[in-house]
Amino acid sequence: MANLFDLTGKKAIVTGAAQGLSNGMAEGLMEAGAEVTIFDMSPKTEEVAAEFCRKGFKCHGIRVNLSDTAEREAAFQKAVELMGGLNILVNGAGVQRRHKCEEFPMEDWNFVLDVNLTSVFAMCQLAGRHFLANGGGKIVNIASMLSFFGGFTVPAYAASKGGVSQLTKAFANEWACKNITINALAPGYMATDMNTKLLEDEGRNAEISARIPAHRWGLPADMKGPVVFLASPASDYLNGAIIPVDGGYLNR
Ligand SMILES: NC(=O)c1ccc[n+]([C@@H]2O[C@H](COP(=O)([O-])OP(=O)(O)OC[C@H]3O[C@@H](n4cnc5c(N)ncnc54)[C@H](O)[C@@H]3O)[C@@H](O)[C@H]2O)c1
């Protein structure tokens, strides 16, 4: 059974892994044996990769704004060259903007949709073309509870994550027969920088915590097992699945 989850020799791109959930997922993939290239626009990207190398992992960092088509495509080519191939793509980079629906600025709508949805579509396409030409591969998108719910004050985020869930299914339908699996993880409420405002809002924090059957917010390490599963042969017959990683939140 252990071999089913072995990623030795596999090459992965993980977007957004300078911090937060993607950082945990990148670490999980490396612990399972993969070589990882981190795509992130954060100034700490290279240092985060260097720190993983000091721990004995094979890791590269490429600073890239995923909303920029030319930067994104150049980074993709560079990563494939650096690692000598690609087997796994994890689309974890994401952003959040909060305003009441009637006040939501178009600028913020476009910003959120560009990062959370358009760049995910484009990265799936880039990786998919590579996988189609090279015998297959694995894509893991990061959806959200807001792929299922509408939320409050986050219409752009909810629309983008609903879109991530739908495009995951659309790609899966065309690529399942080509040895490419594409699935999504839908994290629940996770204690990361993205949720600083929610964590600090005592009322909302208590409301959310009371609904989580596991009685705690999730952590980046909670994403390791699920991402290794979706990146490994253990999930070869999963296509277009949206898997909650939420301490049971969705069941309530
Ligand atoms: N935290 C949660 O509760 C939660 C819940 C559900 C889904 N998610 C999703 O999980 C993913 C990771 O979230 P997180 O909580 O770790 O967030 P985070 O803010 O801690 O990390 C996001 C990372 O993405 C990078 N990034 C943002 N825009 C980018 C761009 N244009 N180009 C390159 N890099 C960019 C940031 O620099 C950052 O390192 C996101 O897709 C998010 O929507 C988070």
What pLDDT, on a 0 to 100 scale, did the predictor assign at position 153? 96
Length of the chain: 252
Alpha carbon of 71 to ligand 1 centroid (Å):
18
Residues 6+ positions from 206 with CB-CB distance below 8 Å? none
Return the pLDDT at 197.
87
Quick one: pLDDT at residue 78? 98
How far is ligand 1, taken at its centre, from the CA of residue 194, in Å?
7
Question: Among 192, 217, 219, which is best to mutate for testing ligand 1, by the most ligand atoms less than 8 A from CB?
Answer: 192
Residue 173: the pLDDT is 98
Query: For residue 40, how far is its CA from the centre of ligand 1 (angstroms)?
Result: 10
Mark the ranges of the chain whose per-residue pLDDT is less than 70.
1-2
Which residues have CB under 6 Å of ligand 1? 16, 18-22, 40-42, 64-67, 92-95, 115, 142, 144, 187, 189-190, 192-195
**39 φ/ψ angles, rounded to the nearest 5 degrees:** -105, 120
Question: Residue 74: what pLDDT?
Answer: 98
Element (H, E) at 138: strand 137-142
Q: pLDDT for 143-179, tens place per residue?
A: 999 999 999 999 999 999 999 999 999 999 999 999 9
Ligand 1, atom nearest to 116 Cα: 41
- Residue 8: Cβ within 10 Å count: 9
Q: What are phi and psi of 220, to 5 degrees?
A: -50, -35
Q: How far is the CA of 35 from the centre of ligand 1 (A)?
A: 21
Chain centroid offset of residue 12 CA: 12
Backbone angles phi, psi at 97, to 5 degrees: -135, 135
Q: Which atom of ligand 1 is nearest to 189's Cα?
A: 3
What does the pLDDT read at residue 52? 98
Buried b (16+ CB within 10 A) or exposed e, 130-166: bbeeeeebbbbbbbbbbbbeeeeebbbbbbbbbbbbb
Nearest CA to ligand 1 atom 40: 94
CB 26 within 8 A of CB 49: no
Catalogue the active-site residues: 157
Confidence (pTM): 0.98
Q: Which two tokens stand for residue 131?
A: 């996988």
